Chains A and B, each alone.
Chain A
Amino acid sequence: MSHSVESELREPLVLGEKTLHQITEDACAPLERKPNTLWWAAFFVALTCLGVGFAATAYQIATGIGTWGLNKTVGWAFDITNFVFWVGIGHAGTLISAVLFLFRQKWRTSINRSAEAMTIFAVICAAIFPLIHMGRPWLAFWTAPYPNFRGPLWVNFRSPLLWDVFAISTYFTISAVFWYIGLVPDLAAARDRAKSKIRKTIYSILSLGWNGSARVWSRYETAYMLFAGLATPLVVSVHTIVSMDFATSVIPGWHTTIFPPYFVIGAIFSGFAMVMTLLIIMRKVVNFEEYITLNHLENMAKVILVTGSIVGLAYGTEFFVAWYSGSPYEGFTFINRATGPFAWAYWIMVSCNVITPQLMWFKKLRRNVVVLFILSIFVNIGMWFERFVIVVTSLHRDYLPSSWAYYTPTLIEALTFLGTFGLFFTCFLLFCRALPMLAQGEIKGVMKTGKRKHHDSGHGHVEPRKAARVEQEKEVAHV
């Protein structure tokens, strides 16, 4: 067994010497107690934002997207920025649940459930923008390839926008399935503790009659591994395809071959920042500080540092190649980004995404919750501006100076964006109340990490447990 022998350097993943029963108690506690005032206050604010966003959305659908600040030069702006922003936020969830699983990073167990929930809510928020942008969202089903009576008229499978439809819907479906499969054993735990009849019935239906059979666990683990294996290339493909919305064009600043991996890394970066923001609040409010420890936050800070630096490298590469290519259009676009009318956005992006994350080189700061919280907010802002810079600055200087323009979002656009935050937090707050936020089934499985210390790890060491087992086998033979 891989965890039967462990280095002395491994530290416990969960603090406070929890017993298995305590973990069940702690994980189910938020579901079983009444919500406090803080929760109600947050829920009220989120619901208000959602309401405002709903009204703004209804208005612009009724009136038309002329309510946006777009013009003939800048034909894509706030909506697509928000779309890419939200899709990116979602990526951390899949990364934590799938990629870290394949890398056998056990610390993921404390944070994967809430990160996956975030993924699903973020993808819902993202999907709203292209839906509105269609102008007639009730005809959204036209994007599906189905036989119809409009002649043999099919969708154009060579359009990256259609790839988006397939990518986002696949991503949403697979993430939801992955999330639910992970939830089943924990729902069963909640079911077996439920006191009230309604609660018991609901959790019974959701947990599918789970009884902890090891034969089922074995299959379940295989399926989980398969889902991780499917979700990993999927998450990469999603932001790759999002990047191709831009990169398949011939617009300087949009068309560059580094876009696919650069967008994927940026998405992980922004997603981890959002996970960090939420978890720092959540561990405090729900009292999960022994599960989501400083070590977890530090690990996330390291991921943010690595991905932020790669994003910085991509900025650098783009800038260098804009000069190296010798193309006047490329050169102008990048100089214009840094010094033109949107220079303010560009420098917000650079300072939030590349400069401030470098603070994470210092262990002291990586373990300081306040610093981490502020930093994660910075990254969220920076990554929103990154998309804004890519979308708007590449467009606002057209090939003819007579088509040069500036873009300012309208109130409607801003309120719609606010509304998606409302939707996101409403969903997240409801999730905290209704479903187990800690993947207790997985946490219990890694509880022995860092606790099976053995003192002689040097040369000539004989593993005590193995020796004990050999002895036991001998005894069994005698029985």
Chain B
Amino acid sequence: MSRLACRLRILGMWLFNRRALNELRWKFGLQPLHTWNESPFKGELVDKWLGSVGGKSRLLVGVFTDEDHLLEATEAVRKAGFDIHDVYTPYAVHGMDDAMGLRRSRLTWVCFFAGLFAGAFGAFMQYYTNAIDWPINVGGKNPWELQAYVPVIFEMTVLIAGLTTMVALFARSKLFPGKKAQLIVPGITDDKFAIALNHGSANFDAERARALFARFHAERVLDLGGLS
């Protein structure tokens, strides 16, 4: 493969597949980059590219039935240096972000800047229409006095900030109508919790992982291949 192709592939991985890139970085002893969530499509593609890095199966999954055990197990596997592919829960488990070592979502900033833009847009729209293009005399007051325009500025801010946040949430999480849900084990939306570890990472040790899962009362442990 040419050098250019290699570079393009790495660029592609950097953009679209952090996990695969991190697997490479592990090999060269580099710090892993922040992983993005991945679609099954990319997982398969990476397999083709890398030629089954880390053996046949890709994920080691511990299934739990209690939130407390899950939290403790997650923290333990992370501290033991395993690469956590993801954790699956039926509800938002409080404290999971810390246990997994996730960094805080940047949706807040999306919302903030969308609101800022929307507020400015709302102000400009009213200024242009009611003070420039067609100033009307209402009650003898000046065409532009900010207080009269605040309510609509506020509503525009909330509307556009809210809709942008929704779109950003769904886009970033790759949730869209028609997407086929891939449950790691049945019952994830009911009463099962699961931790999925990447086989691919450099210091992966299946025996140690199984022992850890067992210590925290895992209901069962599965070796899953090819599933993202």
- Where the two chains meet, the residues of A that have a C-beta atom closer than 8 Å to any C-beta of B are 1-4, 19-21, 24, 145, 151-160, 162-163, 166-167, 169-170, 173-174, 177-178, 181, 184-185, 188-189, 191-193, 204-223, 226-227, 230-231, 233-234, 237, 240-241, 244, 440-442, 444-445, 448, 465, 469, 472-473, 475-476, 479
Contacts and interface: CB of A to CB of B under 8 A. Distances in A.
A475 B215 contact: yes
A216 B76 contact: no
Contact of B155 (A19, A167, A226, A440): A167
A465 B72 CA distance: 10
Q: How large is the interface on B (under 10, 10 to 19, 20 to 34, 35 or more residues)?
A: 35 or more
Which of A154, A157, A206 has the most C-beta atoms of chain B within 10 angstroms of its own C-beta?
A: A157
Interface string B80-116: 1000001111111111110010101101100100000
B179 interface: yes
B155 A189 contact: no
B72 A211 contact: no
B163 interface: yes
> Helix, strand, loop or mixed for chain A's interface?
helix
Given A155-B129, A215-B37, A1 B71 contact: yes
Given A166-B152, A192-B190, A219-B169, A214 B88 contact: yes
Given A215-B37, A227-B165, 5 more contacts: A21-B190, A170-B156, A178-B162, A214-B89, A226-B107
Interface stretch (B8-16, B44-52, B132-140): B132-140
Contact of B102 (A24, A153, A218, A440): A218
Interface stretch (B53-61, B180-188, B218-226): B180-188
B175 interface: yes
Contacts of B94: 1-3, 445
A230 B151 contact: no
A101 to B, nearest CB: 12
Given A155-B129, A226-B108, A230-B162, A218 B96 contact: yes
Contacts, number: 229
Contacts of A157: 126, 129-130, 148-149, 152
B120 interface: no
19 contacts: A151-B134, A152-B134, A154-B133, A157-B152, A169-B159, A170-B159, A184-B175, A189-B190, A206-B177, A208-B177, A212-B90, A212-B188, A213-B87, A215-B86, A215-B102, A227-B165, A230-B111, A233-B154, A476-B79
A154 B138 CA distance: 14
Given A213-B37, A473-B76, A226 B165 contact: yes
A327 B183 CA distance: 70
Contacts of B75: 469
Contact of B191 (A24, A145, A153, A231): A24
A212 B183 contact: yes
A105 B191 CA distance: 24
Contact of B181 (A204, A448, A475): A204
A145 B158 contact: no
B33 interface: no
B189 A237 contact: no
Interface of B: 37, 67-68, 71-72, 75-76, 79-80, 86-97, 100, 102, 104-105, 107-108, 111, 125-126, 129-130, 133-134, 136, 138, 141, 148-149, 151-152, 154-156, 158-159, 161-163, 165-166, 168-170, 172-184, 186-191, 208, 211-212, 215-216
A214 B104 CA distance: 13
B184 A211 contact: yes
A183 to B, nearest CB: 13
A220 B180 contact: no
Contact of A230 (B133, B149, B158, B177): B158
B133 A214 contact: no
Contacts of A188: 181, 189
Given A154-B133, A166-B155, A216-B37, A444 B90 contact: yes
A99 to B, nearest CB: 15
A472 B176 contact: no
A241 B88 CA distance: 43
Contacts of B134: 151-154
Contacts of A151: 134
A324 B76 CA distance: 69
Nearest to B178: A205
Contacts of A211: 88, 181-184, 188
A222 B106 CA distance: 9
B28 to A, nearest CB: 26
Contacts of B169: 181, 219-220, 223
